[in-house]
Structure 1
Amino acid sequence: MKRSDMVAEAAITLLAERGMRGLTHRAVDEAAGLPPGSTSNLARTRAALLELALARLTALEEHALAPAISGGPPSREELPDVLAEAVHVQVNDRRRTLARYELALEATRRPELRAIYDRAGRRFRDPAVALLAAVGSRDPVRHARQVVAFGEGMMFDAIAGAGAVPTRTELREAMRELLSGMLDLPPAALP
């Protein structure tokens, strides 16, 4: 693993375990098992360290979500399964999702991080627009925003809220119910 990836991985873990206040260059060196000063040599400032962590996190999420969204556009009937699987992947990687929440909150206070965070987010939102357009959404941009917000709410409730972690079946049915109004989906045949 490249040193920059080691540093970014350690930063992601620290963000998830200790929050933003626990993310220091020294703590990253220790968590990554690197000599003191290694993180500072790679990412001089806190902003640079946050950018490095966000870039790695984005790459990890793209890799994790690839199986759920690869294989061409799904049919209307398959779309709830595809979207449910994407949420399921995120809910079940608590470390990655908690770190993303920490970075999202920090981005509200740092305009330079906000710009990077928003660019990274488009890498996930744009495919959602394309998926909904492919299945005939009358307003794919608005519908994608609603689907993403719904998925984010499910993830937040399971990871940081008071809710239980939903099963794939629960996520699939929730997505089907949401999409049925947008796309006029037929009722599901429950397994």
Structure 2
Amino acid sequence: MPASPRRRQLLDAALHVLADEGLKGLTHRAVDRRAGLPEGSCSAYLRTRRALQAALAEDVADRLLGDVDRLADELATADEPDGVGAAIALFQRWLDRRELLVARLELTMAASRDPELAGLLADQRRRLVELVERIMTATGKEHSAARAEALVASYDGVLLAALLKPAAERGAFLARSLDLLGAGLAGGSGA
């Protein structure tokens, strides 16, 4: 179910606060300021800090998983699916919206110390691995849950490394890295 316009406004503001100020800066007051809303607006929708973090984690994961799901659908219907090319284009779009990736990284680090958040992110990770396995099937690659999980972990590392590169170098870095991963982990044609 889509978020109400006000909740969407708050989650968008929270995303930017988290990306710009880190988890310590993610407060109800900071979200209200960023959203341009009166103090107390965020806490009316998300009572506790934990609720704010959980809602933001779900929102970030849903946005990213939605992109991957659309990619899987596109590749499943393509005459000659190009998984590497499609992944490069998707990752470049994500890098252009760096706040999503930075927020995901911040929340992932927080989950290493928070079992409840870890459980939420583990479920989302499982869904992502399933989508990647579906993409591998659509592109004719040798696949298994273990290969898909290794690709997801590798892609996470590539995205993190790409975030640290100057914008002008990201495209070439993504292409080179995903070609290497595609050849090594994704396996050959599944025939």
2:74 aligns to what SS in structure 1?
coil
Partner residue in 2 for 1:130: 134
Q: So what's the TM-score if we normalise by structure 2?
A: 0.82
Q: Compared with structure 1, are the counterparts of its residues 110 and 59 closer, same or farther at alpha carbon in structure 2 (3 Å cutoff)?
A: same
Q: So what's the TM-score if we normalise by structure 1?
A: 0.82
Alpha-carbon distance between aligned partners in 2 of 1:102 and 1:40, rounded to the nearest angstrom: 21
* Identity over aligned pairs, percent: 26
Matched, 1:117 2:137: no
1:183 aligns to what SS in structure 2?
coil
Partner residue in 1 for 2:110: 106
Alpha-carbon distance between aligned partners in 1 of 2:157 and 2:24, rounded to the nearest angstrom: 25
Indicate which of 97, 100, 109 corresponds to 2:101.
97
Alpha-carbon distance between aligned partners in 2 of 1:21 and 1:43, rounded to the nearest angstrom: 17
Deviation at 1:169, TM superposition (A): 4.9
Partner residue in 2 for 1:46: 49
Residues 145-154 or 25-34, more deviating: 145-154
Runs of 5+ unmatched residues, structure 1: 186-191
Indicate which of 2, 5, 9 corresponds to 2:5.
2
**What are the Cα deviations for residues 115-160 of structure 1, in whole angstroms up to 9, with x where unaligned?**
111222233221101122344444421221222122211111122x
How many aligned positions are there? 183
Alpha-carbon distance between aligned partners in 2 of 1:130 and 1:63, rounded to the nearest angstrom: 14
Partner residue in 2 for 1:85: 89
Partner residue in 2 for 1:158: 162
Question: Are the counterparts in 1 of residues 75 and 81 from structure 2 also a CA contact under 8 Å?
Answer: no
Alpha-carbon distance between aligned partners in 2 of 1:179 and 1:75, rounded to the nearest angstrom: 19
Alpha-carbon distance between aligned partners in 1 of 2:99 and 2:54, rounded to the nearest angstrom: 17
Partner residue in 2 for 1:180: 183
Alpha-carbon distance between aligned partners in 2 of 1:77 and 1:41, rounded to the nearest angstrom: 46
Question: Are the counterparts in 1 of residues 75 and 138 from structure 2 also a CA contact under 8 Å?
Answer: no
- Aligned residues: CA RMSD: 2.4
Shift >6 Å, 4+ stretches: none
Alpha-carbon distance between aligned partners in 2 of 1:63 and 1:130, rounded to the nearest angstrom: 14
Q: Compared with structure 1, are the counterparts of its residues 155 and 10 closer, same or farther at alpha carbon in structure 2 (3 Å cutoff)?
A: same
Question: Are the counterparts in 2 of residues 20 and 102 from structure 1 also a CA contact under 8 Å?
Answer: yes
Question: Are the counterparts in 2 of residues 84 and 171 from structure 1 also a CA contact under 8 Å?
Answer: yes
Name the structure where helix makes up a greater proportion of residues.
Answer: 2
Question: Are the counterparts in 1 of residues 129 and 148 from structure 2 also a CA contact under 8 Å?
Answer: yes
